[in-house]
A and B are shown apart, each in its own frame.
Chain A
Amino acid sequence: MIEFKMPSLGADMEAGTLVEWLVKPGNPVKRGDIIAVVDTQKGLIDIEVFDEGTISELVIKENEKVPVGTVMALIASGKEEGIKKEVIKPAKKVEEKIAMEKIVAAKAPHFIKASPLAKRIAAEKGIELNTIHGTGEDGAITKDDVEKAIVEKMAPKEEKKIATAENIRMAVAAAMSKSNREIPHYYLETKVDMSKALSWLAGANKQRSVKQRLLPVVLLIKAVAKALTELPDLNGYWENGLHQKQDINIGFVVSLRTGGVMIPAIHNADKKTVDELMTSLNDIIPRARAMKLRSSELSESTFTVTSLGEGNVETVYGVIYPPQVALAGFGSIIEQPWAESGMLDVRPVLTITLSADHRASDGATGSRFLMAVKNHLQKPEAL
């Protein structure tokens, strides 16, 4: 039996409140399925499952608040039952129970018990039946259940969203305090001539429709991701020692108009093209602002990028998001005098900073990272 636990959606999260189960016992699940909605300080988060199997039991109830790591549900996976059976042969009761589970699992596939009318209304209103709790005979979903679900969907979540603006402030406060308390930061800074990158971008955007146009920030994200492939010590977590991460998931800081920030992850940013990165941003920025992110997007970033390129801020000295070990900050691209090969010129200049955890890496590593980013930005066509 696989235990599905309350996930940690960041170092600052201690507990979460289950708002809604989106599955019922007997429902099959696979990796990536959203099975629950959890209320955290960062708003309502869709929680994904990482295993394949059949929901065997929902251990905690809706509206229950439990600490991170608490078992929320049990998931039966076909394989496991076979193994268990061999090991615990003498215990007859256990065997029977397993046999029962098997029957449940075999009976379950995809069928949700709902009345024809309930199904019709749900389809018309675009509500997934597996998000509705059935209260009819034998747990069947009836018209009343669907109508209740429609009403619930409309009303209460809006209120919750408003309430979380303050919570987000508190979440940011907790994470940043922890960072400042525990992480010995060091800071490096360099300036990059952006004329090549910007002229490449202008050319590239001429060939794209408005909708597909690229923002300079995608070049920065891609350059950072590529640089991280060369400096793996900066891509990981510090948890009693450095744990490098295989995937390069860039957490991109999105500031909220109501205050606070959300940091959705762009998964495998090093493997995405600049167009794919732009698509990712188009997807996650609005969802981050609406506080409608998936758990993996909130919890799986391995390195953070913060860009304050909107005003006239030249330099950002960022605070690392624990348990990560580094963060890259980008200021505005500003025209500045630029000396090169004994000549003075005016160029669009960008200041890049690195904040890094001195427990995990040293200045030399950080310096190599900034040089790598700089070099990649000089060859925008290769990004």
Chain B
Amino acid sequence: MSENNIIKLTYREALKRGIREALQKDEKVFLMGEDVGRYGGAFAVSKGLLQEFGPERIMDVPLSESGFVGAGIGAALNGMRPIVEIMTVNFSLLAMDQIVNNAATLLHMSGGQINVPVVIRISCGIGRQLAAQHSHSWEPLYAHIPGLKVLSAGTHEDARGMLLTALQNRDPVIIFEYTFLLNKEEEISANAGAVDITKAKVRREGRDVSIITYGAGVYKALDAAKELIATGIDAEVIDLRVLRPLDEVTIFNSVKKTHRVLLVEEAWGSVNVSSEVSARIMENVFYELDAPVQRLGGVEVPIPYPKHLEDASIPQNADIVKKVKKMLQHD
């Protein structure tokens, strides 16, 4: 297989390959979570891994988020490299106490003596009509907390590689994965592997407007950009990737180039990641702006069950296209 070989695979498969490589590389790495073993994972991400690595390393846990996330933190404190899977972001709130009060805080509380190298994977965003029990976008809740590194895998490349780099980190890392993307096929390099987890990435270069997004917004923004170029608008698409700490340099450089910003995310509009990015743009590169910074966020309701309402509750390609056209409209 030559270096330039391209393979086509689903987002689910990319995640699995990442996990498998991590398990192969380091014996201290193990996966724990609800139904990750015998059932193969609620979304079939870890299917077959139990057979391959055995029950010591692919560990089913009881339905107690606080309990097993706490156990993962304990294992990390004792030299292991646990990958803790939380089935959906909705359930992660049950583990909030462990994540915030222990994982994110221990380094500070111990006067810098204790690092917590735990990686927590969380499925996030809408899936296929999974309703308000399983569909929310709560990245902003985690991006708020100092002591955490918060990643968002909006592309297959990142689904494949973010985990590997996260496991090198000495401190807790949250990785958000997107239910909506699981079946989506994309091409990536056959020997794709670990990726940088410090920087945002320009997914498409453009000169007229910067669409800054993350997670499930990345492919939507890229599709919207394709549509826009047909109308003569050359949009740049930035994938934030790292929601905490934010990569200001990439954001500001893009603003300096295009002078217009549209922020897109599925999380509810009030107090979301876009709010923070927008504020930092104002504080740092206000005089580069040629139009007010605009945001497209989720409608502020619990995610509805019916398909048409589910679609209407989050920004879609057409919304992005329409908003960008309005921003660039000249009389």
Nearest CB of B to A300, in Å: 37
CB <8 Å contact, B287 and A120: yes
Q: In which size bucket is the chain B interface?
A: 10 to 19
List of B residues within 8 angstroms of A140 by Cβ: 291
A139-B291 Cα distance, complex, nearest whole Å: 12
B187 within 8 A of A: no
CB <8 Å contact, B290 and A117: yes
B286 within 8 A of A: yes
**Whose C-beta in chain A lies nearest to the C-beta of B326?**
A137
B331 within 8 A of A: yes
B307-329 to A contact mask, C-beta < 8 Å, 1/0: 00000000000000000001101
A136-B259 Cα distance, complex, nearest whole Å: 13
Q: Say which residue of A117, A119, A139 sits within 8 Å of B259 (CB atoms).
A: A117
A143-B327 Cα distance, complex, nearest whole Å: 13
Task: Check A115/B289 contact, CB under 8 A, given A135-B331, A139-B331, A143-B259.
Answer: yes
A136-B290 Cα distance, complex, nearest whole Å: 9
B25 within 8 A of A: no
B247 within 8 A of A: no
A140-B286 Cα distance, complex, nearest whole Å: 16
A137-B260 Cα distance, complex, nearest whole Å: 13
CB <8 Å contact, A142 and B290: yes
List of B residues within 8 angstroms of A143 by Cβ: 259, 290
Nearest CB of A to B255, in Å: 10
CB-CB contacts below 8 Å: B247-263 with A: 259
How many residue pairs link A and B with beta carbons under 8 A? The number is: 36
Nearest CB of B to A122, in Å: 12
B288 within 8 A of A: yes
CB <8 Å contact, A118 and B326: no
List of B residues within 8 angstroms of A136 by Cβ: 290-291, 329-330
A335 within 8 A of B: no
Q: Say which residue of A116, A117, A119, A137 sits within 8 Å of B329 (CB atoms).
A: A137
CB <8 Å contact, B288 and A116: yes
CB <8 Å contact, A137 and B327: yes
A30-B72 Cα distance, complex, nearest whole Å: 74
Nearest CB of A to B260, in Å: 9
CB <8 Å contact, B287 and A142: no
A119-160 to B contact mask, C-beta < 8 Å, 1/0: 110000000000000011101101110000000000000000
List of B residues within 8 angstroms of A135 by Cβ: 330-331
B179-202 to A contact mask, C-beta < 8 Å, 1/0: 000000000000000000000000
CB <8 Å contact, A144 and B330: yes
User: How many positions in chain A have a CB within 8 Å of any CB in the partner chain?
Assistant: 14
List of A residues within 8 angstroms of B327 by Cβ: 137
**Whose C-beta in chain B lies nearest to the C-beta of A142?**
B290
A101-B286 Cα distance, complex, nearest whole Å: 33
B210-237 to A contact mask, C-beta < 8 Å, 1/0: 0000000000000000000000000000
Which one of A117, A135, A142, A143 has the highest number of Cβ atoms from chain B below 10 Å of its Cβ?
A: A117
B287-315 to A contact mask, C-beta < 8 Å, 1/0: 11111000000000000000000000000
CB <8 Å contact, A116 and B289: yes
CB <8 Å contact, B329 and A115: no
A119-B290 Cα distance, complex, nearest whole Å: 9
**Whose C-beta in chain A lies nearest to the C-beta of B329?**
A137
List of A residues within 8 angstroms of B291 by Cβ: 115, 136-137, 140, 142
Nearest CB of B to A123, in Å: 10
List of A residues within 8 angstroms of B259 by Cβ: 115, 117, 143
A379-B197 Cα distance, complex, nearest whole Å: 90
Nearest CB of A to B290, in Å: 4
List of A residues within 8 angstroms of B330 by Cβ: 135-136, 142, 144
Nearest CB of B to A142, in Å: 5
A118-B330 Cα distance, complex, nearest whole Å: 14
A144-B328 Cα distance, complex, nearest whole Å: 11
List of A residues within 8 angstroms of B286 by Cβ: 116
List of B residues within 8 angstroms of A119 by Cβ: 287
A91-118 to B contact mask, C-beta < 8 Å, 1/0: 0000000000000000000000001111
A118-B291 Cα distance, complex, nearest whole Å: 9
List of A residues within 8 angstroms of B331 by Cβ: 135, 139
**Whose C-beta in chain B lies nearest to the C-beta of A123?**
B287
CB <8 Å contact, A118 and B329: no
Binding site for A on B (CB under 8 A): 259, 286-291, 326-327, 329-331
Q: Which 10 pairs between the two chains have the least Cβ-Cβ distance?
A: A135-B330, A117-B290, A115-B290, A135-B331, A143-B290, A116-B287, A120-B287, A116-B289, A142-B290, A116-B286
Can you pick out 12 interface pairs between chain A and chain B where the beta carbons lie within 8 Å of each other? A115-B289, A116-B286, A116-B289, A116-B290, A117-B290, A119-B287, A136-B290, A136-B329, A136-B330, A137-B327, A142-B330, A143-B290
Q: A116-B286, A137-B326, A137-B329 are in contact. List 5 more A-B contacts (CB 8 A).
A: A115-B259, A115-B290, A136-B291, A139-B331, A144-B330
